[in-house]
């Protein structure tokens, strides 16, 4: 910090005493900057020649990691949807939107039965999946069902239970 202040003060004194010399220093610093640009271009070219990591392309999809990844995705989608709808509901009077309960019930009631069931299933499936997979993760935190076979078995059970409960919610709720 002290060295930076000393450098700045000496450059200010030089600029005040000899303006032409200060302008020459500026042009020299620009020349150094252009050499930095060529170094950057060299680094970019080197990065293009490096191999990339295979990432997910080489891994076989397994029941041990797909539901965990989907749990994060469904949690983000659900929370994002709730935030967007909540914000829209709050600003709806300002924009003249009709997001009150009566308008929404009338709009949903005018849909065909298949569209109603599909819409309810589209909302219910991520909710039930995230809920049941969250319970599965809680059991892991308690040290239960954490063997490889138990993780696979509970994964299939969780998929079945969440799908059946989403269908039940879509048809009867």
Domain assignment present for 16: no
Domain assignment present for 81: no
Domain assignment present for 74: no
Name the domain count of the chain. 1
The answer to whether residue 167 scores a pLDDT higher than 90 is: yes
Q: How many Å apart are CA 97 and CA 93, to the nearest integer?
A: 6
The answer to whether residue 19 scores a pLDDT higher than 70 is: no
Domain assignment present for 130: yes
- Residues of the domain holding 129: 112-172
Q: How far, in Å, are 36, 43, 58 from residue 39 at the CA level? A: 5, 6, 34
Domain assignment present for 125: yes
Among the residue ranges 32-36, 93-97, 109-113, 135-139, the one predicted with the least confidence is: 32-36
Report the chain's mean pLDDT, rounded to a whole number.
86
**Predicted local confidence at residue 79, as pLDDT:** 96
Among the residue ranges 45-54, 78-87, 101-110, the one predicted with the least confidence is: 45-54
Contact yes or no for 127/165 (Cβ under 8 A):
no
Domain assignment present for 152: yes
- CATH code of the domain covering residue 152: 1.20.1300.10
Q: For a pLDDT cut of 70, what percent of the chain falls above it?
A: 87
Domain assignment present for 132: yes
Q: How many Å apart are CA 114 and CA 92, to the nearest integer?
A: 28
Q: How many Å apart are CA 19 and CA 13, to the nearest integer?
A: 10
Residues in the chain: 173
Which secondary-structure segment (H or E) carries 173? Answer: none
């Amino acid at each position: 910090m002290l060295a930076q202040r000393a450098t700045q003060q000496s450059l200010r004194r030089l600029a005040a005493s000899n303006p032409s010399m200060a302008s020459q220093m500026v042009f020299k610093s620009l020349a150094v900057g252009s050499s930095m640009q060529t170094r950057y271009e060299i680094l970019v070219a080197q990065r293009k020649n490096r191999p990339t990591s295979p990432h997910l392309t080489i891994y076989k999809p397994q029941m041990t990691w797909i539901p965990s990844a989907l749990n994060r995705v469904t949690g983000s989608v659900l929370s994002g949807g709730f935030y967007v709808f909540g914000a829209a509901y709050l600003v709806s009077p300002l924009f003249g939107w009709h997001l009150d309960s009566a308008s929404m019930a009338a709009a949903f009631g005018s849909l065909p039965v298949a569209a109603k069931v599909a819409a309810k299933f589209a909302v219910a499936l991520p909710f039930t999946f995230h809920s049941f997979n969250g319970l599965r993760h809680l059991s892991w935190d308690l040290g239960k069902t954490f063997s490889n076979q138990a993780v696979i078995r509970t994964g299939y059970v969780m998929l079945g239970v969440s799908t059946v409960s989403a269908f039940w919610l879509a048809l009867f709720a």
